[in-house]
Amino acid sequence: MTIDFLNKKIEKSINDLYNVDIPSNFCQIIKTKSDFEGDFTLIIFPFLSFSKTDLLTTANEIANILKDFDEIDSFNIVKGFLNLNLSDGFLSNLFKTAVESKNYGFLSSKSNSETTLVEFSSPNTNKPLHLGHIRNNLIGFAISNIFKACGHNVKMVQVINDRGIHICKSMLAWLKYGNGKTPASEKVKGDFFVGQYYILFEKKLKEEINKIGDKNIIPNILIEAQEMLVKWENKDPKIIKLWNMMNNWVYEGMDITYKKLGIVFDKNYYESDTYLDGKRIVNEFLDKNIFFSKEDNSVWVDLSKYNLDEKLLLRSDGTAVYMTQDIGTAFSRYKDFNFDNMIYVTGNEQNYHFQTLFKILEKLSCQWAKKCFHLSYGMVDLPTGKMKSREGTVVDADDLIDKMRNESFNLIKKSNKFDDFNDEEIKDLSNIVGDGALKYFILKVDSKKSIMFNPEDSIDFNGNTAPFIQYTYARINSVLSKKKDFKNCYNSFEEMGSVEKALIKIIIEFPNCIKQCKESLNPAFLANYIYHLAKTYNKFYQKVPILDGSRNENFRLTISKKVSLVIKNGMRLLGIDVPNRM
RNA sequence: GGCCCUGUAGCUCAACUGGAUAGAGUACCUGACUACGGAUCAGGCGGUUGAAGGUUCGAAUCCUUUCAGGGUCACCA
């Protein structure tokens, strides 16, 4: 519970009472558990050392002062817990402020706002996006929106891994076995088309290894790929042309997927550019003896005194590795944006990598190194084990999105509630519902935890889901459409009902909820908040007649309207749409 | 093996970062529509928070030990 000024007021009263400066973390105010009566609860235990008396006496001493506050109506004491009831008048005021504030919960960015870069997605250009990328994209997009809502000037960026041996593999396979086929000639989406050749390469490689039967002999096809990488680095025109063509196929395919996900980046960085920056920087600091080289000319950084080992930065043949590229990218970004924060959204398999990267940046005296954060999320696993694109055991992003949309379509088709909808309208609605179900399913889980995804029965349309929330929104919308012009009203003419009170208390938490998501780098908190709000509203809807012509009608309409706005704007932060009807 | 993360109802997840009798959904069993929209609501069943110690008024949360699962320790990305 965070009503800042009330917290401060209480804190001050207690300070005065005991005539000491009580550390602010001693004043713990929490929401009252639903089993007890009260709106919020002050925990008494910490004050015992100042009151020098027993628990009950202390609680009463404090309660006696607080009960005279206008904001507080009544209290009760249970053990070391002082439960306080807010007065209806005070709640009304808070509610009024919330309703009347423009862009409630959202701070707008100003010229002196912090600039925050969020890096996410960052795909390889040799295969389509899969379920793991979906989680990455959803978290990255949501956290970007959340930082925006906190007034940051946010830039969404990615680095596209468009070069390297893995890219050459799909290129080589296409050259050898493609027979000039193209995505257009085969009517296959470009990223899937290229992905097929990546898998084909791995298959041929495996066949050749089996045929050779000697681990020490490098298969020809792999040597060819390595040769191709060297040609690429030497800018062989034929190879560059092929590379451009195939990468473009992939980009065309990915554009469609990003469009489905509703994601647009502010700036793309390409590894094919930044790896050169990285090499330059590494060599520069090699000269300054920050890095060192070994006999074979490979370049290393020694981080062993930070518990992080030695790390390779340039291969003995002078070519770049992943880390090299990431150093170059980071420098470019700082030059481009002079950011205050940079957040990398990647799977937790890269925890060690980012620890190392940040430490290296520190060693390079980048004062911005401590402004870099790693939002590390858990892997998405299938019942059959880990997803491996090399083996083709992945859930493709497009397939999954389409499956959800279709399921939603069928659900709507057979409900006969939408007889006045044409197929186009049904399709639009099923996209909103299907996409929502998928996105919410992933975002409601604490980002650092891994997700077990069972393709058969993972995603539900009932319970703690987006469709449940969307339905609540649509139903409020329906009520509101029956009474278009009502006058805002912030108080009940009788004592406020418990559900109305509960709703108002949730509504006034919205800004704080967003802040918490930002601080913990975890959108799941918002997802669960919205669910809780929707659930409480449904209870209200069932229990309390809204349009009953009574003098409380406007109060209930005002609550309904505000709930719908919080739902809509909260879901928007998560990248989820809400329909006017469903 | 070293380091990191995770173990909560049959299953999927919460628990406002140390607060009260650990809550939701789902599944299963009841009950509620001549409707402001039933993709809803109300009730029941379901727990030694992996285990054992410790810290304190108070532990799912912090510390130690231990068990289980995952990740990582590449001249892969």
User: A509-528, pLDDT tens digit by residue?
Assistant: 999 999 999 999 999 999 99
Q: What's the CA A164/C1' B1 distance, rounded, in angstroms? A: 33
Asked if the model's pLDDT at residue A1 lies above 50, the reply is no
Q: Which residues of A219-229 are buried (b: 16+ CB within 10 A; e: fewer)?
A: bebbeebeebb
Q: What is the CATH number of domain A120-381?
A: 3.40.50.620
Q: Does domain A397-573 have CATH number 1.10.10.60?
A: no
A309 touches strand B (CB under 7 A): yes
Strand-pairing partners, residue A155, are: A117
Residues 315-334 of A with CB under 7 A from strand B: 315-317, 321-322
* Across A195-223, average pLDDT: 86
Q: Give the C-alpha separation, A457 to A449, whole Å.
A: 20
Positive/negative CA dihedral, A422, A423, A429, A430:
positive
Check if the beta carbon of residue A371 is closer than 8 Å to that of residue A340: yes
A545 touches strand B (CB under 7 A): yes
**Average pLDDT score, chain A:** 92
Q: Give phi and psi for A438, each to the nearest 5.
A: -65, -50
Q: Do domains A3-86 and A397-573 have the same CATH topology?
A: no
Q: What's the CA A448/C1' B48 distance, rounded, in angstroms? A: 27
Q: Which tens digit of pLDDT belongs to each residue from A76-90?
A: 999 899 999 999 999
Q: What's the CA A304/C1' B66 distance, rounded, in angstroms? A: 29
- Cα separations in angstroms, A275 against A122, A176, A271: 15, 28, 6
What DSSP string runs through A168-187?
Answer: HHHHHHHHHH-TT--HHHHT
Asked if the model's pLDDT at residue A193 lies above 90, the reply is yes
Check if the beta carbon of residue A342 is closer than 8 Å to that of residue A331: no
A455 touches strand B (CB under 7 A): no
Coil, helix or strand at residue A491: coil
Angle at A501 between CA A80 and CA A482, to 5 degrees: 165
A520 touches strand B (CB under 7 A): yes
Coil, helix or strand at residue A393: strand
Q: What is the ipTM of this complex?
A: 0.95
- What local confidence, expressed as pLDDT, does residue A5 receive? 80
Pairing of strands A299-302, A310-314: antiparallel
Check if the beta carbon of residue A466 is closer than 8 Å to that of residue A432: no
Query: What residue is closest to B12 (Cα–C1')?
Result: A458
Residues 403-422 of A with CB under 7 A from strand B: 408, 411-412, 415, 417
Q: Which tens digit of pLDDT belongs to each residue from A238-279?
A: 999 999 999 999 999 999 999 999 999 999 999 999 999 999
3-state secondary structure A76-133: EEECCEEEEEECHHHHHHHHHHHHHCCCCCCECCCCCCCEEEEECCCCECCCCCEHHH
pLDDT category at A542 given cuts 50, 70, 90 is very high
Q: Give the C-alpha separation, A366 to A339, whole Å.
A: 12
Coil, helix or strand at residue A565: helix
Q: What's the CA A59/C1' B48 distance, rounded, in angstroms? A: 33
Residues 126-145 of A with CB under 7 A from strand B: none
Instruction: Give the burial class of A294: count Cβ atoms within 10 A of its Cβ; 0-12 exposed, 13-18 middle, 19 or more buried.
Output: exposed
Q: Which tens digit of pLDDT belongs to each residue from A400-426?
A: 999 999 999 999 988 888 888 888 999
Q: Which of the nucleotides lies closest to A82 (Cα–C1')? A: B20
- Domain locations in chain A? 3-86, 120-381, 397-573
Nucleotides of B under 7 A from a protein CB: 3-7, 12-17, 19-21, 23-27, 36-42, 57-58, 70-77
| CATH superfamily of the A3-86 domain | Arginyl tRNA synthetase N-terminal domain (3.30.1360.70)
Q: Which of the nucleotides lies closest to A33 (Cα–C1')? A: B20
Q: Which of the nucleotides lies closest to A469 (Cα–C1')? A: B39
pLDDT category at A44 given cuts 50, 70, 90 is very high
Pairing of strands A115-119, A341-347: parallel
- What local confidence, expressed as pLDDT, does residue A283 receive? 94
Q: What's the CA A62/C1' B53 distance, rounded, in angstroms? A: 38
Residues 458-477 of A with CB under 7 A from strand B: 460-465, 467-468, 471, 474-475, 477
Q: Give the C-alpha separation, A54 to A48, whole Å.
A: 7
Number of H helices, E strands in chain A: 20, 14
Residues 52-111 of A with CB under 7 A from strand B: 78-81, 83
- Cα separations in angstroms, A259 against A225, A254, A379, A426, A536: 33, 8, 24, 19, 34
Asked if the model's pLDDT at residue A530 lies above 90, the reply is yes
**DSSP assignment letter at A547:** S
Instruction: Please compute, for residue A39, the number of CA atoms within 13 A of its CA located in the half-sphere on the CB side.
Output: 27
- What local confidence, expressed as pLDDT, does residue A392 receive? 67
Q: What's the CA A33/C1' B22 distance, rounded, in angstroms? A: 12
Q: What's the CA A477/C1' B26 distance, rounded, in angstroms? A: 28
Q: What's the CA A452/C1' B37 distance, rounded, in angstroms? A: 34
Tokens in use for A268?
A: 């793309």
Neighbours of A409 (CB within 10 A): 18
A311 touches strand B (CB under 7 A): no
Residues 188-247 of A with CB under 7 A from strand B: none
- What local confidence, expressed as pLDDT, does residue A111 receive? 87
Pairing of strands A292-293, A267-270: unpaired
Residues in CB range of A475: below 8 A, 6 or more apart: A541
Residues 33-52 of A with CB under 7 A from strand B: 33, 35-36, 38, 41, 43, 45-46
Asked if the model's pLDDT at residue A67 lies above 80, the reply is yes
Q: Give the C-alpha separation, A168 to A225, whole Å.
A: 6
Q: Which of the nucleotides lies closest to A448 (Cα–C1')? A: B5
**Nearest residue to A362 via CA among A335, A398, A330:** A330
Q: Give the C-alpha separation, A334 to A325, whole Å.
A: 14
Check if the beta carbon of residue A82 is closer than 8 Å to that of residue A14: no
**Nearest residue to A125 via CA among A242, A261, A278:** A242
Q: What's the CA A40/C1' B36 distance, rounded, in angstroms? A: 32
**Nearest residue to A375 via CA among A398, A401, A354, A394:** A354
Q: Give the C-alpha separation, A345 to A323, whole Å.
A: 16
Q: Which tens digit of pLDDT belongs to each residue from A272-328?
A: 999 999 999 999 999 999 999 999 999 999 998 888 889 999 988 888 889 999 999
* Across A150-165, average pLDDT: 95
Residues in CB range of A273: below 8 A, 6 or more apart: A332
**Nearest residue to A361 via CA among A267, A291, A270:** A291
Strand-pairing partners, residue A311, are: A301
- What local confidence, expressed as pLDDT, does residue A2 receive? 57
A293 touches strand B (CB under 7 A): no
Tokens in use for A506?
A: 């949730």
A449 touches strand B (CB under 7 A): yes
Asked if the model's pLDDT at residue A501 lies above 60, the reply is yes
Q: Give the C-alpha separation, A263 to A120, whole Å.
A: 11
* Across A52-60, average pLDDT: 91
Q: Give the C-alpha separation, A433 to A173, whole Å.
A: 40
Q: What's the CA A507/C1' B23 distance, rounded, in angstroms? A: 20
Q: What's the CA A463/C1' B14 distance, rounded, in angstroms? A: 14
